[in-house]
Amino acid sequence: MVNSSIIPTFLVSWVQLIVPQPCFDKFFIDFDFLDGPCLKIAISKCLGFAIIAGSCIVKVPQVVKILGARSGEGINLYSITCEIIAISSTWAYGYALKFPFSAYGEAVFLAFQTALIAMLVLFYNGNTPVAIIYVTVYAFSMIYLLSPMAPMPLLSMLQAANSLIIAISKIIQAAANYRNSSTGQLSAVTVTMLFLGALARIFTSIQETGDFLVICSYVVSSLFNGIILFQILYYWKVKPKQKKQ
């Protein structure tokens, strides 16, 4: 059946990453491009891989902004740490349950970039030894969570706590922004991409995993990323409060 499709044989396996069976046959053999369930699957796969592609660079503007200013001012380390925990939980949970990579893959790239941001914040605060310890502890933690030694109840518990951890992370950052009347070195590009990516992930998670814990975490993430984005826009031209002498 596959060989009689309009897709060249050498491209079939690649196309099936986005249009898996039996939808591949419906689209490219039966030419039924209006099949509702298959359209949802194809759209979800395209969105998923687009999010993963975007995640490879989503925090690069934030990293560049920190490096350019040689400062992590306005970026709360506790907030970043909570974010790393939430991202890493999604990565380990999706990997353990063998979800399609398109359903959780961005967590892999976001984890590395967020850990780098935490390291830079510590480094520019003059805490180089702490920065090295921070990254080392995180690396060994992920090695354990991605290994067969990590019990599924632990991974489920971490994923269940994701919504709360995300909320705490964003509330800490939002409170710091409000207190400073500024968003400091937060990148508008990064926060906008995170907000849009979380919105899209609600749809792809419903379609590809149907997992309530995963869906709920992205709903919460969308809400609080939206709040941070609003603050960035609101404080765009507001100078930080002058520090007391």
Provide DSSP, 201-219: HHHHHHHHT--HHHHHHHH
> Letter for the amino acid at 188?
A
Of the chain, the percentage scoring pLDDT greater than 70 comes to 94
204 in Cβ contact with 47 (< 8 Å) = yes
State how far the Cα of 87 lies from the Cα of 114, in Å rounded to an integer.
Answer: 9
pLDDT of residue 183: 81
The domain locations on the chain are: 2-34, 61-234
Query: pLDDT band at residue 244, thresholds of 50, 70 and 90?
Result: very low
Q: Average the pLDDT over 53-70 and give the result.
A: 88
Note the pLDDT of residue 18: 82
Range 94-111 average pLDDT: 89
pLDDT at 196 over 80: yes
**Separation CA 96–CA 100 (nearest Å):** 11
Q: Give residue 236's pLDDT band: very low, low, confident or very high (50, 70, 90).
A: confident
Query: Does 8 score more than 80 pLDDT?
Result: no
Compute the radius of gyration of the chain from its Cα atoms.
Answer: 20
Name the residue type at position 60: V
- Length of the chain in terms of residues written: 245
Q: How much is the mean pLDDT over the chain?
A: 86
Query: Burial of 107 by CB count in 10 Å (0-12 exposed, 13-18 middle, 19+ buried)?
Result: buried
Which of 114-123, 187-196, 233-242 has the weakest average pLDDT? 233-242
Cα-based torsion angle of the residue sequence 207, 208, 211, 214 in order, rounded to the nearest 10 degrees: -100
Q: Which residue has the higher pLDDT, 44 or 117?
A: 117
CA–CA dist 35, 31 (Å, integer) = 10
* pLDDT at position 4 over 60: no
Q: What is the DSSP letter of 245?
A: -
